[in-house]
Structure 1
Amino acid sequence: MTKTSRRYCNPKIVDKKIEFYIKKKVLVKQEFEGAEMKGHIEKAEHNSNFIQDTLKQDYTDWAIVGCYYASYHIALALLLKKCFSSKNHDATLCILIKHYYQNGLSREDIELINKTYLDNNDILFYVQSKNEREKAAYSSQIVFDKKLVSDLRLKTLLFVNKGKEIIEKS
């Protein structure tokens, strides 16, 4: 478990960070917006299709970027389900941990969100996706290992589907 993972798994730290983000208006408590939540779900699905299309054309760098945004949009939909909106990756992660960790999302889901029912593995995936997206978007590297990208794509699809399932059940 990384230092970051341990920090996010401490409920007191997560609660303090949430208070900080609310005070700074980076994290906003809002009325439930079903249409906006649905829009984020649709955007996650759209980005999931984009991933497959770009892989067919060997644009592995853009497939990684698509993985991150598919994951991010389903994360925003999960936040809206709890009547929050966020302007910050870390704030988003804190709400996911507080409301969904070990209640549908896994540690891997949380980490995936930070790098690129949810249990530990699902949240860790989001973190991995963010990190790979940053490499793909900002480095001069064009081609990425197809196996890595295929694995990331599969994890992304599982994460998006898990998020949709959580929303439907709650």
Structure 2
Amino acid sequence: AAGSGKTAVLVERIIRKISGNTDVDRLLVATFTKAAAAEMKERIRLALERALLEQPQSEHLRRQLAMMNRAAITTLHSFCLDVIRRYYPMIGLDPGFRVANETEAELLRLDVLDALFEERYAAAETEPGFLRLADDYGGERGDEPLYHLVQELYDFSRSDPWPDHWLERAASGFET
């Protein structure tokens, strides 16, 4: 829970590692938000400064403090993006790739949903179940309520460790 001391415990464990023989730039500390990553980095920096005050002769601690800018204390997304940028040739990715912003991602998502609905309507003669679904869950003037339902189910499924299996199980509950 918020305020339970998770960050303090993690910082203490990191400082213990660094105070040993581990260099700070050899650790990966991944958080979910930029704010949490910035807070973690600041807390580690402050803890290193306190440790250096207690052991002013320690070259190791002085070096760790100097290497803080190179430390991988970041968000999980930023770390993954860094790995992709660094190793794009190995995965056959165009070096000019970029991450879509939220608006672009939403437009792409709607394009995919439009194509899926068109495909299902085209196959309605051989698979009439979709028409029943559209009649039951769609609106009187369009498919917007059904679009919304499909998007909510998809988003909810992403919270499961195996979203495709979750969707299959959920769908199997409606089979007659």
TM-score by length of 2: 0.23
Larger Rg: 2
The structure with the greater share of residues assigned to helix is 1
- Work out which structure has the larger RCO, using CA pairs closer than 8 Å and 6 or more positions apart in sequence: 1
